[in-house]
Chains A and B, each alone.
Chain A
Amino acid sequence: MAEMTFDRDVVKVPLGPQHPALKEPGNFMLSLRGEQITEMGIRLGYNHRGMEKACEERPYLNDMYLLERICGICSHSHSTAFVQAVEEIAGIELPRRGLYLRTLVAELERVHSHLLWLGVAGHEIGFDTLLMYSWRDREVVMDVLANLTGNRVNYGYNTIGGVRRDITDEQKAALFKATDILEERTKYYVGLATTELTLAKRLQNVGYISKEDALRLGITGPTARASGVTRDVRKDDPYAAYAELDFEVITADSCDVFGRTVVRVGELMQTYKMIRQLLKELPDGPIAAKAPRKIPKGQALSRYEAPRGEDIHFVRGNGTDKPERVKVRAPTLVNIQAVSQMMKGAYLADMPITLAAIDPCFSCTDRAIELYDDAGNPNGMRTWADVRAHGIRHYQERGVDMGDLNRRFASQMERI
Chain B
Amino acid sequence: MADPEATDAKPEVKAINPNLERENEIKAELSRKFPFLAEDCTIQRVRRMWVKVPMDQLHPVMLHAKEQLGFSMLCTITGTDEGDSLGLLYHMAHDNGIVLTLMTNAPKEGPGPSTVTPYFPLAELSEREVIDLLGARIQNMPEGPRYPLPDAWPEGQYPLRKDWKPEGATASPPNPKSQEK
Contacts and interface: CB of A to CB of B under 8 A. Distances in A.
B159 A53 contact: yes
A58 B170 CA distance: 11
Interface in A282-341: 296-301, 303, 310, 312, 314, 316, 322, 324-325, 327, 329, 333-334, 337-338
Contact of B125 (A219, A298, A337): A337
Interface in B105-143: 120-122, 124-126, 133
Contacts, number: 114
B65 interface: no
A329 B75 CA distance: 8
Contact of B14 (A91, A216, A327): A91
B145 to A, nearest CB: 5
B166 A50 contact: yes
B78 A314 contact: yes
B170 to A, nearest CB: 9
A337 B99 contact: no
Contacts of B99: 237, 301, 303
A78 interface: no
Interface stretch (B18-26, B29-37, B53-61, B88-96): B88-96
Please tell me the size bucket of the interface on A: 35 or more
Query: Interface residues of B: mostly helix, strand, loop or mixed?
Result: loop
Contacts of A322: 172
A57 B171 contact: yes
Interface in B128-181: 133, 144-150, 159-160, 166, 169, 171-173, 175, 178
A219 B73 CA distance: 9
Contacts of A334: 122
Given A90-B10, A91-B10, A314-B78, 19 more contacts: A44-B147, A45-B147, A48-B148, A53-B166, A58-B172, A88-B45, A93-B14, A215-B72, A218-B120, A233-B97, A237-B97, A296-B10, A298-B10, A299-B9, A301-B91, A301-B101, A312-B91, A314-B89, A325-B78
Interface of B: 8-14, 16, 44-45, 47-48, 50, 72-76, 78-81, 89, 91, 93, 95-99, 101, 120-122, 124-126, 133, 144-150, 159-160, 166, 169, 171-173, 175, 178
